[in-house]
Every structure is written in C-alpha cells, then in structure tokens.
Amino acid sequence: MALQDDYRLKCLGEAENGAKLLEMLKKLNPDVVLLDLKMPELDGFGALKAIRELYPDIKIIILTMNDDEQLVLHLMEEGANGYLVKNAEPREIQDAIHAVHEKGYYFSDMVSSIMLRKIVRNDAPAVRHIAVAATLNEKEKDVLRLICEEFTATEIAERIFLSPRTVEGIRSKLLEKTGTRNTAGLVLFAVKNGIFG
C-alpha cells in the first residue's frame, strides 16, 4: 500500500518467509527487496546472506521494528543497502527504494546518527582497515569520495572524466580492497576510517 502512489515502482511479489522469497527470486528479477528480519522458516538474517551470495546485484532494504545500534551496523556490514524501521512513512520507504536503486545505499536519519555516534565515540578502526586505506590510489579515493557524496556511477564518470564502465571497475576494485560487499559497505568503510575527515 505504501508504494501504490509511486508510478515508478512495481511490486513483483510478496513472500511470507525467507524460504519462499528465495524460491520467488529464481523466477523474478527485482531491483530491490524489502526484507523483514523476523520471518518463519528462514529469517531475514539468513535470507540476506543467501541473497548476497546468489544475487549480488539485488539491493536489499531491511525493514524491522528493531533499531538497536549494533544490529544496524552489523546488517549494513553484512550487505544490506538500507535500513528502515517499520513505522517509516510511505514517502521514506519510496525514497529509500529509489536511493538504493540509483546510488547503492540509503542511510535514514537514524542510521546516519548511529554512524556519527560511532565516530564521536572514537572507536578505533582495525589496523587492517588503516593499512587498506593507505593503499588506495588517488582515482580510487576520488571515486570513493563521490560515492560517499551520493553520486551515481554516471555522474561520477562525468565529474572525473572517465567512462561509467571505468568507474564501475574502480568501484569493484574498492570492494575487493576494502573487503566490503556493496556501496553501503564502502561508505561505512570510509566513515569508520575517517578517510575524508
């Protein structure tokens, strides 16, 4: 119902549990999945892991009542592209779907504040991450910075005079170097390691 008034969105199906969702994904090819954490048979954690392994291009937004800080960070690190609480307004749900589809991630005000608190607390980043950050070349840092500023691959390509395909190649290299799973993970990596701070 929250998506009905947005003509750009089409609901391809609904599944009552994670196992049925995985069955549906064999036949459907959605751009974005809204995923509940509490489901019978296969819960959201298991479904998230399976989708990441089987369908790495599908964007996943977690939808749950739980706003625990550690849970949010854990899910984003495990490959979720966005995180919403179930009382989110329909417009925010729509905005989140469009954001993860176009930019690869959506950080709500709640998730952004959790990330900021993590920085303020001065959590020490892992030594491995510091070493990885030091190995990024200038082009990789440019692409990472523009990803963090919410530009799409095409917009990034225009700004730094590369082809979108080259930008995607650099993004893939960044994922490999940082050990992250998706664009949201790259943003978390940059924030945790104070790369642009």
**pLDDT at site 129:** 47
How far apart, in whole angstroms, are the C-alpha atoms of residue 166 and residue 176?
Answer: 15
Residue 101: other Cβ atoms inside 10 A = 16
Torsion angle of the four alpha carbons 29, 35, 41, 47, in this order, in degrees rounded to the nearest 10: 60
Cβ atoms of residues 80 and 107 within 8 Å: no
Instruction: State residue 125's pLDDT score.
Output: 47
Closest CA relative to residue 188, chosen from 106, 115, 82: 115
Q: Are residues 103 and 165 in the same domain?
A: no
**Does one domain contain both 22 and 109?**
yes
Same domain, 30 and 65: yes
The CATH number of residue 52's host domain is 3.40.50.2300
Question: Residue-wise pLDDT tens for the chain (197 aa)?
Answer: 778 888 899 999 999 999 999 999 999 999 999 999 988 889 999 999 999 999 999 999 998 888 788 888 788 888 899 999 888 888 999 999 999 998 888 887 777 777 666 655 655 444 344 455 567 888 998 999 999 888 999 999 999 999 999 999 999 999 988 888 888 888 888 877 777 65
**What is the reported pTM?**
0.69
Q: What is the pLDDT of residue 157?
A: 94
From 59, 93, 118, the end of a domain falls on: 118
- Residue range of the domain that includes 142: 125-192
The C-alpha angle with vertex 37 and arms to 32 and 40, in degrees rounded to 5, equals 110
Instruction: List the one residue out of 182, 150, 81, 67 whose CA is nearest residue 113.
Output: 67
Residue 133: CATH number of its domain: 1.10.10.10
- Asked whether residue 83 falls in the same domain as residue 24, the answer is yes
Question: 185: Cβ–Cβ under 8 A, 6 or more apart, which residues?
Answer: 76, 77, 79, 175, 178
